[in-house]
Amino acid sequence: MFIDLSCPAELFGTALPTDEDPSCELLLYNLSDRIIVSAEVTLRLLNRRDEEEEHLVYRARALNGRPQSTFPMRVPCTPAPAIRRAEVTIEKVWFSDNAVWRRDSSKEVSYTPNELPISRGLTNLKYVAGESAVGYPSQQEGLWVCVCGRPNPDDTVYCARCRRDKNLIFARYNREAVEKQLNQKERQLELQSRSAREDTARMQRIREEAYQVSRMKKGKRAHLILAILGALAFTAAALFGGAPFARLHIARQTMEEGRLEEARSILEDLGSFPGAEQLLADARYAIAERTIASSQDPAALQAAAETLRSDGREGAEDLARSADFRRAELLLEIEDFEGSREALKKLPNNYPGLRDLQLETDYQEAVSNMNLRYYTLARNEFLNLGDYQDSAAQADACIYLPALALMESGEYDAAITQLERIPDYEDSAELIRKCAYLKGVVLENKEDYYGAADAYFAAGDYEDAAERATDLTYILAEDAFTAASFEKAVTLYQRIPGHLDADVKALACIYTLGRRALNDQEYNQALEQLTRLPENYEDVPDLIRRARYALGLEAQEKEEWLAAAEQFFAVSGYRDADRRLARVLTHLTEEEAASFLPQEEPSEAPAGTPEPTAAPTAEPAAPAPSDAPAETPEPAEAPAAESTAGADEEPAESGDSDSYLVRDDS
């Protein structure tokens, strides 16, 4: 079936048109919290072969659709004998605040109804969930279907029709929970029946004991008095119609002997005979008192409380409250949590022990739900209990127990996710490491060595996890080293410092990456790698100077004078870096250039910007054509000047004369 879950009205039923009433009567239900004043529907009347007999669109006005209530709507149409059923589609709905809802067919979703056929299962469900129940709740794609049959969007908490809570519906009214509640009811009835039998037997013993005591105390005199009174009563009955008086006397005597139920029966038969009503009230009061003192039957206690409240005498209300409290305790013992709460609602908020019993009821219900493996529902209930008993620990257990189940089924990632929510509960921290270790074993068997190494590292000191992680990582690093994947290799080597020759090979990888970047003229990348190495490692200082010098040339060519000055200044004394620095400084402001001038010998250098001719004077033997206009060097001539001025030095990009710690022919 298809349904638009955003529709604010729902069709409950239809009545087909007749000759007497030529209209189709619709019974709609307002799901919204606003009054519906008008609705437009599409009506299709079909025959038994599902062929369309009539099709019409009709708008009804002046409706009175109260929120969460049913309301009728009539659609005028022509009656026909062939019509067997009607299909109704709600197109538009108007509210009292002038808002309008319009049907959008693209929002319709498919769902499977959950109606049960008429059966014992449906009868049991209605017994537990009420007459509105039509089937067990079901979770479907994008929606859930309530026990009342209404589909609802997945993100809603309450049913749009019956307003029941989603979590409560799935916890209370699934097939297993319904059967459990029925079993509890049967147990309760059995307990009540047994309690009634025990009460009857106990009352019989009490009556017999009272009778024996009465005989012993009163002796012959009592018998004589009774005989005289009986004779008088029967004489009066015979002469003056005094049989009710005699029965009243017998009832009073029966009450004195403790046979309260027998006395109540006699007095109820006497009806409004003078004195009988008060004596009947006394008998009922005494029965209620005795029930409260000794009965284990919740139904009997409820009846006793009702009797006491209707009596009205002083102290009756207190006794009724004690009956309700005791009934709540008994219902809690048989896990009838709703019944226990209902009994407690009759008590004032300040009744002694009320709050504790309410908390205990909520606690025991949470324990019951946890035992039924409704962990999410139980955890929320425990959290709502705050610091009552061990509720906080039980809330953590509602995460811990399903995490153990996930571990047993091999879902280690899911188990870790759950256990990380309760790292301080019992052995959760140890189990997290165990899950990581077992995950590593699985991945290693699947030859996913990278994943296995990560899992072993996450396992920390669990068993031999650290050793396994180190060995796997070293093997992976060696493979990467052999394959000339030095970036990957150095990352792996650095993950296991101190293991075998990992530190040495990590430095060799970095060195090779630096040399490779230098050869590829990636000077910034070369500097990034080379500066990670110790200063005395191989020819690192010279390689760094080469990289900085090359960066200076690039900056000079781009007329990025400050960047060029920084690089040439950093390699002062290297090749013609000083001459180039002097040339670059002519393009800087005095303030910018000041930081690059020597400060220790002020007599050899003027305080201001160096003269443009200073660089040529330092090297008169290099008459490059590009050196003439020293103050405005062209970017394209910088490399030429470098090659001329440094002809007697090593080439700037000479790769053949360099020695590699790791040969990289790529």
Averaged confidence pLDDT in the chain: 82
Both structure tokens of 313: 């005498």
Distances (CA, A) of 511 to 12, 166, 216, 474: 80, 63, 117, 19
pLDDT at position 223 = 55
Residue 659 has pLDDT above 80, yes or no: no
Distant-in-sequence, close-in-space partners of 565: CB < 8 Å, separation ≥ 6: 581, 584, 585, 588, 592, 593, 596
Q: CA angle 648-651-656, nearest 5°?
A: 130
Both structure tokens of 57: 């669109």
Residue 464 has pLDDT above 90, yes or no: yes
Q: 136-150, 469-483, 651-665 — which one is most confidently predicted on average?
A: 469-483
- Cβ proximity of 415 and 425 under 8 Å: no
Average pLDDT over residues 269-284: 72
Query: Residues 201-235: pLDDT tens digits?
Result: 777 777 767 666 665 665 556 555 655 655 555 54
Phi-psi region of 383 (alpha: psi -120 to 50; beta: other; left: phi over 0): alpha
Q: How far is the C-alpha of 34 from the C-alpha of 130, rounded, in Å?
A: 26
Residue 607 has pLDDT above 60, yes or no: no
What is the per-residue DSSP string for 43-64?
A: EEEEETT--EEEEEEEEE-S--
The SS3 call for residue 60 is strand
Provide the strand spans (E) within 69-130. 70-76, 83-95, 100-102, 109-110
- Cβ proximity of 170 and 137 under 8 Å: yes
Residue 534 has pLDDT above 60, yes or no: yes
Residue with token string 């047994």: 194
Distant-in-sequence, close-in-space partners of 113: CB < 8 Å, separation ≥ 6: 1, 135, 145, 149
What's at 262, amino acid-wise? E
pLDDT at position 617 = 34
Instruction: State the pLDDT confidence band at 84, using cuts at 50, 70 and 90.
Output: confident
The SS3 call for residue 574 is coil
Q: How far is the C-alpha of 182 from the C-alpha of 192, rounded, in Å?
A: 15
Helix (H) or strand (E) holding 642: helix 638-645
Average pLDDT over residues 4-33: 88
Residue 349 has pLDDT above 90, yes or no: yes
Provide the strand spans (E) within 321-386. none
Strand-pairing partners, residue 101, are 93
CATH class for the region spanning 2-110: mainly beta
Query: Do β-strands 100-102 and 83-95 pair in parallel, antiparallel, or remain unpaired?
Result: antiparallel
pLDDT at position 621 = 33
Instruction: Tell how many helices (H) and how many strands (E) occur in the chain.
Output: 25, 12
Helix (H) or strand (E) holding 41: strand 36-47
| CA neighbor of 360 nearest in space, from 383, 386, 384, 332 | 332
Residue 431 has pLDDT above 50, yes or no: yes
Average pLDDT over residues 277-287: 77
Instruction: State the pLDDT confidence band at 175, using cuts at 50, 70 and 90.
Output: confident
Instruction: Quote the percentage of the chain above a pLDDT of 90.
Output: 51
Higher pLDDT, 31 or 275: 31
pLDDT at position 609 = 40
Average pLDDT over residues 356-380: 95
The SS3 call for residue 469 is helix
Helix (H) or strand (E) holding 490: helix 486-495
Query: Do β-strands 23-30 and 9-15 pair in parallel, antiparallel, or remain unpaired?
Result: antiparallel
The SS3 call for residue 43 is strand
pLDDT at position 118 = 83
Dihedral sign from CA coordinates of 487, 492, 495, 499: negative
> Can you give the residue ranges of every domain in the chain?
2-110, 120-173, 188-296
Instruction: State the pLDDT confidence band at 182, using cuts at 50, 70 and 90.
Output: confident
Residue 3 sits at φ, ψ, to 5 deg, of -150, 145
Q: How far is the C-alpha of 188 from the C-alpha of 442, rounded, in Å?
A: 51
Query: Do β-strands 9-15 and 52-60 pair in parallel, antiparallel, or remain unpaired?
Result: unpaired
Distant-in-sequence, close-in-space partners of 620: CB < 8 Å, separation ≥ 6: none
- Cβ proximity of 512 and 518 under 8 Å: no
Residue 137 has pLDDT above 70, yes or no: yes
Residue 138 has pLDDT above 80, yes or no: yes
Higher pLDDT, 13 or 572: 572
Dihedral sign from CA coordinates of 557, 563, 568, 571: negative
DSSP character at residue 165: B
What number of CA atoms fall less than 13 Å from residue 551's CA on the CB side? 24
Distances (CA, A) of 105 to 23, 32, 59, 108, 150: 27, 20, 19, 5, 19
Higher pLDDT, 185 or 63: 63
The SS3 call for residue 598 is coil
Q: How far is the C-alpha of 142 from the C-alpha of 306, rounded, in Å?
A: 48
What's at 477, amino acid-wise? A
What is the per-residue DSSP string for 2-13?
A: EE-TT-SEEEEE
Query: Residues 487-517: pLDDT tens digits?
Result: 999 999 999 999 999 999 999 999 999 999 9
Helix (H) or strand (E) holding 36: strand 36-47
Instruction: Quote the percentage of the chain above a pLDDT of 70.
Output: 82
pLDDT at position 39 = 95
Query: Do β-strands 9-15 and 100-102 pair in parallel, antiparallel, or remain unpaired?
Result: unpaired
Both structure tokens of 185: 């009811």
- Cβ proximity of 102 and 95 under 8 Å: no
Q: How far is the C-alpha of 639 from the C-alpha of 558, rounded, in Å?
A: 12
Burial 444-480 (b: 16+ CB within 10 A, else e): beeeebebbbbbbbbbeebeebeebbbbbbbebbbeb
What is the per-residue DSSP string for 501-530?
A: THHHHHHHHHHHHHHHHHHTT-HHHHHHHH
Least confident of 378-382, 480-484, 567-571, 603-607: 603-607
Higher pLDDT, 428 or 53: 428
Higher pLDDT, 544 or 648: 544
Average pLDDT over residues 574-603: 85
Least confident of 127-136, 177-186, 207-216, 527-536: 207-216
Residue 6 burial (CB count, 10 A): 13
Q: How far is the C-alpha of 398 from the C-alpha of 421, rounded, in Å?
A: 11
Residue 70 sits at φ, ψ, to 5 deg, of -90, 155
- Cβ proximity of 475 and 467 under 8 Å: no
- Cβ proximity of 164 and 158 under 8 Å: yes
